[in-house]
């Protein structure tokens, strides 16, 4: 009973009744034609990763591409953990379209508050 209330309070209940799926990293040489909803693709060669791609977590279906090369701005840093969950630093903020603003930490999406421009 306590676990149920905790999941409900934390907003982690889904259609299946369990915790939300976590985003996991997958290293690829080229971006797949069809992206999995809960996968962050780390695109690059065996020696270096160029960018991360994922489907926007808001549900709009847009493909987000974050540069992971320090030579170009803006630039993100990806950390992959043993369980293949991923963190992206800093937050991801779409300036057009759905205007989602979120932080991805250890595979979990944490939505940022909206700020007036």
Kindly report the length of the chain: 117
Q: Quick check: is 16 in a domain? A: no
| pTM score over 0.85 | no
Q: Quick check: is 100 in a domain? A: yes
Report the C-alpha gap between 45 and 82 in whole angstroms: 21
Q: Quick check: is 30 in a domain? A: yes
Q: What is the pLDDT of residue 114?
A: 64
Report the C-alpha gap between 40 and 35 in whole angstroms: 9
Report whether the peptide linkage leading into residue 74 is cis, meaning its omega lies within 30 degrees of zero. yes
Domain count, the chain: 1
Report the C-alpha gap between 28 and 39 in whole angstroms: 11
Higher pLDDT, 27 or 16: 27
Q: Is the pLDDT of residue 68 over 70?
A: yes
Query: Could you list the residue range(s) of the whole structural domain that residue 30 is in?
Result: 21-111
Q: Quick check: is 6 in a domain? A: no
Q: Is the pLDDT of residue 43 over 50?
A: yes
Higher pLDDT, 50 or 20: 50
Report the C-alpha gap between 68 and 10 in whole angstroms: 31
Q: Quick check: is 57 in a domain? A: yes
Q: Quick check: is 32 in a domain? A: yes
- Give the sign of the dihedral formed by CA 78, CA 82, CA 84, CA 85: negative
Q: Quick check: is 28 in a domain? A: yes
Q: Quick check: is 117 in a domain? A: no
Q: What is the pLDDT of residues 94-110, one digit of tens each?
A: 999 999 999 999 999 99
């Amino acid at each position: 009973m306590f676990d149920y209330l905790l999941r409900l309070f934390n907003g982690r209940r889904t259609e299946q009744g369990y915790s939300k799926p976590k985003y996991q990293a997958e290293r690829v040489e080229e971006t797949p034609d069809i992206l999995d909803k809960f996968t962050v693709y780390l695109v690059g060669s065996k020696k270096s990763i160029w960018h991360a791609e994922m489907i926007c977590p808001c549900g709009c279906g847009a493909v987000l591409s974050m540069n992971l090369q320090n030579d170009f701005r803006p630039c993100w840093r990806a950390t992959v953990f043993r369980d293949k969950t991923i963190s992206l630093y800093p937050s991801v903020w779409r300036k057009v379209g759905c205007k989602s603003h979120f932080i991805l930490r250890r595979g979990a999406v944490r939505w940022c508050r909206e700020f007036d421009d």
